[in-house]
Structure 1
């Protein structure tokens, strides 16, 4: 007998908990209320194989692959929601009937800073053989509801799969990891334009990133950013020098103008902020 219908009750409780914490979320901080984590038994019921919790079964499903957001980091700005697909490939002698996932940040699900449950009650599963299926679920992240700056970086992903005959399932609280990052912005401006050959060219810019506490973009300071140049007609950029971002993420340096070409800034990224290249500024050298 399927017991997954209880997920609707769990999801409803989570929604209610999230609503009661809305005021706290409006002023992000460690005191905001977080929803309670779903458990293996509340989702699937029955006997379970839960990694790290002492449950054992002779023929539990096996998860062989997990992909979150197509293998890419999850990057969010200050306003736009992002829906992410989690794909779970699993096998069992009877086939795979369902799967489950949610994202959480912290040391354990029970003490997590925050968690995000899937949109669907049931996974969409496609069989590749009589025993193996890939199941997909989605989670939607709202930067103004789910995130504060302290939550940028590594998140854990719960992965679970249920046998088609409902005889057993497997659940792993740390089945995969993903990174949730604060979107970055980077601009460039080289002056004067045009410039005489051998004269000084000043290149400025600003490195900023989403601030999930204020829902605005703010300068990213003390970061190494490369100034790069591509000569007109060339195929690739080369690094000219590296500059540290200053107050409000400001970038500024000078170079000697030698030939026509494109100038840009390039930021390698951090664990909390993605890499980004500015658009190119073409400078005509007379």
Structure 2
């Protein structure tokens, strides 16, 4: 089941647009927590621990108790490339350590990793996984867990805006519902255990990039001028199209026919629409490409080499 959240700044306040967590199996096996139920749980837990919440307070019905669970050894890819429409997921592993009074094998105990942008207490945005993590018990008080972060940039979900690109922080949470059904009139939030820990690691969530190249004329006489054009573009998470990445340094590289190594000929910058254009002198048969080193918001990318026959 999807565990996913998007938090957007609206009129200076943080508003939740979606938040779904793994199903909690109530004592009668009936209930799955709603978005509002889970929001209230997280909100209440954070409010109790910090005196303030990332979201608007809903009521004063209490808060979950602090569960004796901590997280460590959080590992995630150094960067996650996200395009304009396709679902992207990345694997996270971490160690869950718990007290002897916490039953992580219970049907209604769930845990999962997530990412947050900005402050842990008042995040600008959060990204979760579609399903709870799976955990393998490694001792009486520890487990090795694996989960996914699922990202949906498409127009139907709009989990990201362009300013979200860059560094995100890793976190993990665990919830023990202890037979409580969030959809029941008898739901007692104070009987629910909750643990949530931020600052476990970092990753880059990047706007995916594309790079093209075209060298002409083909074929060309040795000693004549070759014009090499191309374009560097990156995903726009707000209109779901690719647009030119302006003012970026890009290397023109050449690989001689029969060689496996590219050599940099020169470095130029993209223009106001992301286009590239330069010239070089034809010498021998080989492949020309553009190469972009990347930034914190946009991944490195190489164009496929364009072969030029020199006669």
TM-score (norm 1): 0.74
Question: Residue in 1 aligned with 2:33?
Answer: 9
SS in 2 for 1:247: coil
| Match in the other structure for 2:186 | none
Map Cα deviations across residues 163-205 of structure 1 (whole Å, 9 max, x no partner).
9xxxx98632222222111010000000000111111111110
**Counterpart selection for 1:106 from 97, 118, 143:** 118
- Give the distance between the partners of 1:96 and 1:179, measured in 2 at CA: 34
Is 1:67 the counterpart of 2:75? The answer is yes
CA deviation digits over 1:98-134, x for unaligned, max 9?
A: 5333222122432x222223323x4310134454321
- What is the number of residues matched between the two proteins? 244
Q: Where is the helix percentage greater, Structure 1 or Structure 2?
A: 1
Q: Who is 1:152 aligned against?
A: 165
Alpha-carbon distance in structure 2 between the residues aligned to 1:67 and 1:139: 12
Matched with 2:126 is 115
Q: State how far apart, in whole Å, the 2-side matches of 1:207 and 1:96 are.
A: 52
**Whole-angstrom distance in 1 between the partners of 2:211 and 2:198:** 37
RMSD: 3.3
Which of 100, 117, 136 is the matching residue for 1:126? 136
The reply on whether 1:197 has 2:222 as its aligned counterpart is: yes
Gaps of 5+ in 2: 1-23, 41-53, 57-62, 105-109, 177-192
Contact conserved, 2:96 with 2:144, CA < 8 A, in 1? yes
Q: Which runs of 5+ in 1 are unaligned?
A: 17-34, 38-43, 49-59
Could you tell me whether the CA contact under 8 Å between 2:74 and 2:170 is conserved in 1?
no
Query: What SS does the aligned partner of 1:113 have?
Result: strand
Counterparts of 1:272 and 1:192 in 2: how far apart (Å)?
A: 35
- When normalised by structure 2's length, the TM-score is 0.69
